[in-house]
Amino acid sequence: MAAAQVVRSEWTKIRSVASTVWTLSLAVVVTVALGILISLLSRHEFDNLSRTERLSFDPTFVSFAGMSLGQLAMIVFGVLVVSNEYSTGMIRTSLAAVPQRGTFLFSKLAVATALAFGVGLATSFVTFFLGQAMLGEHRAAIGDPGVLRAVIGGGLYMTLIAVFSMGIAAILRGPLLSLGILMPFFFLISNILGNVGATEKVGRYLPDQAGSSIMRVVTPVDDDTPYGPWGGLGIMALWVLAALLGGFLSLKKRDA
Amino acid sequence: MIELEGLTKRYGEKVAVNNLSFAVRPGMVTGFLGPNGAGKSTTMRMILGLDRPTAGDVRIDGTHYDRLKDPLTYIGALLDAKAVHGGRSAFNHLLCLAQSNGIPRARVHEVLDTVGLTPVARKKAKGFSLGMGQRLGIAGALLGDPRILMFDEPVNGLDPEGIHWIRTLMKSLAAQGRTVFVSSHLMSEMALTADHLVVIGQGRLLADTSMADFIQRNSRTYVRVRTPQPEQLSDVLAAAGITVLRTGDGAFEVDGGKAEHIGELAARHQVVLHELSPQQASLEEAFMRLTAESVEYHAHSGAGDVPAARAWGEGWKGEG
Ligand SMILES: Nc1ncnc2c1ncn2[C@@H]1O[C@H](COP(=O)(O)OP(=O)(O)OP(=O)(O)O)[C@@H](O)[C@H]1O
Ligand SMILES: [Mg+2]
């Protein structure tokens, strides 16, 4: 079975369902709109900040604030790409056509990942430039040290969130179960763990907490994070690999 | 050609398919018959490599399913007509299947035409009626122009026109020399389409026979007679050397007897007849008798119970 055939087939699948369009559009709109809003608010708040807060002020990171909500749409995208197969029963038709389950899963993931990366990267650039425009004199420039890395990193972050969700969905199969675990995890639990003193040291190894360091340019004044931006993204990538491995084994071993 | 060898599937404690061995040959329609829960769908899923056998082996033209290059060009299957993404159009559904097996796009239009779905090709599958869904599933099975076709209860829920269409299609596919394997739980349906029969019950093989043989062995012809003077009639028939079987409701069944002959005898001896009708035991009854035997627990089956009536549902009752 030529993998190229399967990739083409998966591309047809992904472009021919409405959920692809609405989840990805939602991710773009929410991330950009919220980024603009928070950048605007930050500009007006800047004068009220303390000295240390001003030193820690990271205009690049501020413009990416919308991602905390926009990533939820990316999660829905990732989950639906995989679990649609199960909830509709299509998986049996699909695996009858492509019985090599590894080829099937990784072709699907390759197509969805490429799409998520394209959309994520575009979102990241748009939200950066519009956010900086709102920040006025406090803005960062794309040529400043570390800024381009952060902006490209924003695209990578959104992609990895989507891929992680695909892996989890491949393990859990059902869309409701997958979303029921991923949404509260990324929206609530991870934030709580990362911001409560006692659990902070563990919390920062969670995929989103670690991964989002790639979007930081200015290190906060009293920061003791033991990894840098790429280290953080690497930790996130390890989570993603683990999820993918779990998804692959689950698909390989279990009856369809 | 599909070959099963000692094929077994266990789901926990439940043995869904038990040591099945048989072959499905080309050039004819092979009916795969069994009551609800007999293991037909499970067997078909194992043929397609969707479920892993607990033991045993199944091969398509001598090869394991997952070793087939572009499997849709070897074997096309309709397992569940609802196994499509409802948000995708019929055309795109078939297109993604075609692309995965290197089948040209033009073939998608061809099969849509064959099944009569061209006018709704761009419509979402979730709006399709049962019959249209079934046709879409069949289009998917035909897509790769395969030598082997497999259908799981294709006529379920179809109207008479749809049933007729599928019957004709299966026969013509077999006439082209293809292998056609079709499951059903209706013997009467199979009698009309199948050339060969494989019957299973409780996951076990009960019969692997040609349809003609099955009919010959199982079709019993008799004459049904009812009379208000049963004693006289029974004496008259006994005197003529005709053995009768008395049924519960005061009627007689005369095996192999001629209705004319019995009528004449009755007239000559002035016995009143209320009914005199030639009968043929249905194949459905033969099938039920066959599968009833496979039911392990004939719990509290009192005398005079029809075993088949009791057997119905034993396969799935109490499994939750
Ligand atoms: N995934 C599963 N997990 C557990 N038990 C199963 C599973 N699939 C099937 N079974 C059981 O295996 C047995 C055979 O089921 P199967 O669906 O193959 O029967 P069938 O002959 O297709 O019946 P029907 O005519 O109702 O379609 C049933 O008792 C069923 O409950
Ligand atoms: Mg079935």
- B254 pLDDT above the threshold of 80: yes
* Amino acid at position A119, single letter: V
Probe ligand 1: pick from B7, B8, B11, B17, max atoms within 8 Å of CB? B11
Question: Would an 8 Å CB–CB cutoff place A152 in contact with chain B?
Answer: no
Asked if the Cβ–Cβ distance from B84 to A100 is below 8 Å, we say no
pLDDT at A45 over 70: yes
**pLDDT at residue A138 is higher than 80:** yes
State which ligand 1 atom lies nearest to the alpha carbon of B9. Answer: 12
Which residues, including other chains, have CB under 8 Å from residue A93's CB and lie 6 or more apart? Answer: B83, B84, B97, B140
What does pTM read for this prediction? Answer: 0.86
Q: What is the pLDDT of residue B294?
A: 65
Structure tokens at B228: 């208000």
Gap from B76 CA to chain A (nearest CA, Å): 9
Can you give the pLDDT at residue B295?
57
pLDDT higher than 60, residue B318: no
Q: How confident is the model at residue A188 (pLDDT cuts 50, 70, 90)?
A: confident
Please give the pLDDT value at position B304: 40
**Minimal Cβ distance to A256: which of B50, B100, B101:** B50
Q: For position A233, what pLDDT does the model report?
A: 94
| Average pLDDT estimate for B302-315 | 42
Q: How many CB atoms lie within 10 A of CB A49?
A: 13
Nearest to B154 by CA among B136, B128, B178: B136
Q: How many CB atoms lie within 10 A of CB A111?
A: 21
Nearest CA in chain A to B93: A13
Counting one residue from chain A and one from chain B, the pairs whose CB atoms sit within 8 A come to: 90
Q: Does A4 touch chain B (CB under 8 A)?
A: no
Q: Which of B13, B33, B42, when mutated, tests ligand 1's pocket best, judged by the most ligand atoms within 8 Å of its CB?
A: B42
The reply to whether B49 touches chain A by the CB within 8 Å rule is yes
Phi/psi of residue B161, nearest 5 degrees: -65, -45
> Any idea what the Cα angle at residue A86 is, between residues B117 and A120, rounded to 5°?
95
CB-ligand 1 contact for B36 (6 Å cutoff)? yes
Give the nearest partner residue to A92 out of B50, B98, B99, using CB atoms: B50
Contact B97 A9 (CB under 8 A): yes
Question: For residue A88, which residues of chain B lie inside 8 Å, CB to CB?
Answer: 82-86
pLDDT digits (tens, 9 = 90+) for B102-148: 999 999 999 999 999 999 999 999 999 989 999 999 999 999 999 99
Q: Which tokens belong to B35?
A: 């009551």
Residue A188 burial by CB count (10 A; 0-12/13-18/19+): exposed, middle or buried?
A: exposed
First to last CA, chain A: 19
Model pLDDT, residue A1: 53
CB-CB under 8 Å, B70 with A1: yes
With a cut of 50, say whether residue A192 has pLDDT above it. Answer: yes
* Candidate from A5, A84, A89 with C-beta closest to B100: A5
pLDDT in tens, A216-237: 998 877 777 888 999 999 999 9
All residues of chain A having their beta carbon less than 8 Å from the beta carbon of residue B90 are none
Phi then psi for residue A219, to 5 deg, are -80, 130
pLDDT attached to residue B301:
42
